[in-house]
Chains A and B, each alone.
Chain A
Amino acid sequence: MKHASRWSLLAASLALVACSNIAAKDGEGPQTASSVKADAKPADKPAAINKDPFPSTYKSYPGGATAIRNVTIFDGEGGRIDNGVVFFENGKISGMGGADTAIPAGMTIIDGAGKYVTPGIIDIHSHLGNYPSPGIEAHSDGNEATSPTTPEVWAEHSVWPQDPGFSRALANGGITSLQILPGSANLMGGRSVTLKNVYARTVQGMKFPGAPYGFKMACGENPKRVYGGRGRAPSTRMGNVALNRQTWAKAQEYRKKRDSGKEYSRDIGMDTLAGVLDGDILVHNHCYRADEMALVIDMAKEFGYKVSTFHHAVESYKIGDLLKENGVCSAVWADWWGFKMEAYDAIPENAGILQNAGACVVIHSDDENQIQRLNQEAAKALSDGRRLGFDISDAAAIQWITYNPAKAMGIDKMTGSLKAGKMADIVLWNGNPLSVYARPDKVWIDGALLFDAADAKRRPVSDFELGQPGEGDVK
């Protein structure tokens, strides 16, 4: 199965690449120092950069005005309403409240007795599309592992919109938005893309309109193993930091030139790094160990950028105070551990300790199977936190997989909670989503009903699965 293989696969594919001459062609490190011409002539004002050359063409599908009543609501921002009402029309949430909330006339009414409503679930760390199913070499598009810094690559150029995994994430996990990141072979892996979990013919058709870009970085074992193994930098953790700092220094220089109003040589990777320094692109930094996170926080201060979120932050619990103070989220698994040395000190109480310390918690998957059960992963982390004596509400645990990831991805004004005016991204669960026994009953995205457990036709089937054994099965 694919779990074990994310990095055996990585190692195998890298070995292949190492044998080719691609690595040599790419040269060491970023290309900026040599490619930015120091003697660029002061000329006409350079043309403005198109910051959105692959614009979203996502369009929401139609959906009727709908109200769900007599239902338990977790609003995504830590609130809970028993016997509540939520309604939406024209793709937006138009109201939410207690039993006495007046439902506008003409709405389709769904009785939610015994059921629960949450905002659509959001996975901040996914490789659906760039490590899709089937997980074969031909589909291995997540790591441009030919240079330790590849800020020039964009995950959206690797996303295969026919990944069957999107349908499972929707039907079993209630996932309505997700961030697809480049892999972690490189210190600087490239731009991420945020998607609506709605199948489209093109990746542009899935892109979350208005979502800011993210930028993937990685600490620790992976970059030094991948490149050190080829006898090139970085081969140590100090090499990791040195190469990062050198690259950020170049980015500062590039940004200065860019903003000088004079002609400059365009560098696609540097555009991204300058975008991070501008504050337009959010940094998502794969970083397991607490000591390394602390170093990254200082490095970010040195160069004037901010880390949105540490991903796979299995040791965040050791520095909950520091993370709170610096306003950095931790995207964590409930309980993964022991698969490599930097995951050795992972504990199931990580999220609970962070929550108790007042730090921002996000539960993520990084996995095509667990993305189908983020609600269960949140529940396990909640349970382990409570067992340690912390008072954490069910609603707070739902926030870990809705509003908090939305905020960390910069889409919280549009989705992530059930506030009026936000996108009607909604899951109706057939029981408490923090129980193993609950499954999505219906899922709406922008008010369109895109999954209905009771309707075999209201279930997406990717091109890949058409005409195959099990096409349209319950999965």
Chain B
Amino acid sequence: MRALLFAAAALSAFAVPLHAETVAITGGKVIIGDGSPPIEGGTVVIRDGTIVAAGQGTVIPADARRVDASGKWVTPGIFAGFSRIGLVEVDAVAGTNDKSGGDSGFSAAIDVSPAIDPFRSSIAVNRSAGVTRAVVAPETGKGIFAGQGAVIDLGADSNPVSKARAFQFVVFGEEGADRSGGSRAGTHLHFRAMLREAQAHSSGNDAFDNDLLKVEDARALQAVIRGETRLLIHVEGANDMLRLIELKRDYPAIKMIFVGASEGWRVAGPLAAAAIPVIASALNDLPATFEFLGATQSNVGRMKDAGVQVAIGMINDRDAHQLRYTTQYAGNLVSLNNVPRATGLSWDEAFAAITSVPANIIGLGDRFGSLKPGRAADVVLWDSDPLDLYAAPTAVFIDGVEQPLGNRQNRLRSRYKTPTEGDLPKAYDR
């Protein structure tokens, strides 16, 4: 991530030193991101791209560049729990939309990593809004398995992928039925049959029955069956979740994670008992289809209270462009505490749900998502409460590198701050 800086970034009007420094960020309101309360007047020390220390009474290295964060909030960068960022420039322009590779004839083998372009304008836009890491998943094509997703950083450099093939993505519920012949029964059968084929292949069975899978797909699923690769499952309805919990008994090693889970509160007990983490849509509260009948904004809070590990993600919700909504969504869950009978999250829990919890769920909590020592130094300085609607980052570090905060939208706004032309056409104004 620190190497191979693009010339474009260096030449940008917003260029700042793109290298990892020793930095001490002092005097801010420090949020560790693990759900612990804020630390007033804390210090965050960064060296070699990682967090050395964060809190009060921290020793500041003599060679550190000091960044005064008085009056500011200092937090881990936002870790977007589910997205398609980097795969799209303009959704409706097919040549710039790499979400789905499902018409290729492959399924589980698809790996989004080479399709992620760190110079998609959405990367810079969301970086300047404080998003520093993201889970990036493919969309399904013709089958239920969409392929392998990645965890990326949003740094202004040429190496976005933090972990390739970090998980496999599969769809159940209505979407799954649509991809498996039209019924949920077909989805379960497809799932079982594909795993059987993958196992047959791994046992060197010459009679590898490849009706459903290509060899590459089979290999990708073997890692899922063994529990080496997590399995993210899009599922919304309560019954579909229960049936998946049952399915899991037949594949005990599979590490299931539910995504969406708008009716999760209805089965929160079984989810907690099965220890299945959830990357939930925060604010779904409409019966968008019949698998969302019980949707409520209290879903996340109720699951949390039942002992489910819950992070916030944005499946199919402007997930290639608007990860900057993540903080607003978390703020809304806090607002529920003031609504009678609703169940929200405390501020500290809400912030954890968009930083450490998604990192933990995806298995990378030891590397990302908090300001604990040893984590990548993804640090954001905000001018005010990052969950309210007025906050903006004043500085963003990714892997200890201070990032440019400019983007294409900033350039347009500067050009048209006064709409009327001046001495020359607007095309000369830059």
Contact = CB atoms under 8 A, between A and B. Distances in A.
Interface of A: 1-4, 7, 133-136, 164-165, 168, 172, 221, 317-322, 335-341, 343-349, 353, 357, 368-369, 372-373, 376, 379-380, 383, 387-388, 430-431, 434-439, 453-454, 456, 464-465, 468-470, 473-475
Given A379-B390, A438-B335, A470-B294, A317 B419 contact: yes
A453 B263 CA distance: 22
A431 B331 CA distance: 14
Given A341-B92, A369-B286, A437-B335, A470 B412 contact: no
Contacts of B332: 373, 376, 436
B259 to A, nearest CB: 12
Contact of A383 (B93, B290, B324, B390): B390
Given A3-B316, A134-B289, A473-B298, A319 B321 contact: no
B289 A456 contact: no
B317 A341 contact: no
Contacts of B318: 3-4, 336, 339
A338 B419 contact: no
Residue among A136, A318, A369, A470 having the largest count of chain B Cβ atoms under 10 Å: A470
Contact of B288 (A2, A319, A341): A2
Contacts of A318: 416, 419, 426
B203 interface: no
Interface stretch (B6-14, B107-115, B338-346): B338-346
A164 B286 contact: yes
Given A136-B290, A337-B321, A469-B263, 17 more contacts: A1-B281, A1-B315, A134-B287, A322-B419, A337-B409, A338-B91, A338-B320, A340-B93, A347-B409, A369-B286, A379-B390, A383-B392, A387-B392, A436-B388, A465-B287, A470-B293, A475-B296
B388 A474 contact: no
Contacts of A4: 316-318
A463 to B, nearest CB: 12
Nearest to A468: B293
The 5 A-B residue pairs whose C-beta atoms are closest, nearest first, are: A436-B331, A470-B294, A340-B92, A469-B294, A320-B419
Contacts of A353: 413, 416-417, 419
B210 to A, nearest CB: 32
A6 B294 CA distance: 22
A135 B331 contact: no
B90 A168 contact: no
Given A168-B286, A339-B321, A388-B417, A469 B293 contact: yes
A373 B328 CA distance: 10
Given A1-B284, A168-B285, A317-B419, A430 B338 contact: yes
B297 A475 contact: yes
Contacts of B409: 337, 346-348
A427 to B, nearest CB: 14
A322 B419 CA distance: 9
B45 interface: no
A338 B389 contact: no
B242 interface: no
Residue among B298, B318, B387 having the largest count of chain A Cβ atoms under 10 Å: B318
A1 B234 CA distance: 11
Contacts of B387: 436
B418 to A, nearest CB: 8
Nearest to A319: B419
Given A2-B288, A317-B416, A465-B287, A340 B90 contact: yes
Interface string B391-430: 0100000000000000001001100111110000010000
A474 B338 CA distance: 12
A340 B92 CA distance: 5
A106 B97 CA distance: 64
Nearest to B330: A436
A372 B322 CA distance: 18
B317 A3 contact: yes
B334 interface: yes
B71 to A, nearest CB: 16
Contact of B321 (A135, A338, A383, A470): A338
Interface in B265-311: 266, 281, 283-290, 292-298
A453 B340 contact: yes
A469 B93 contact: no
Nearest to A343: B90
Contact of B317 (A1, A7, A473): A1
Contacts of A380: 328, 389
B121 interface: yes
Contact of B389 (A340, A434, A465): A434
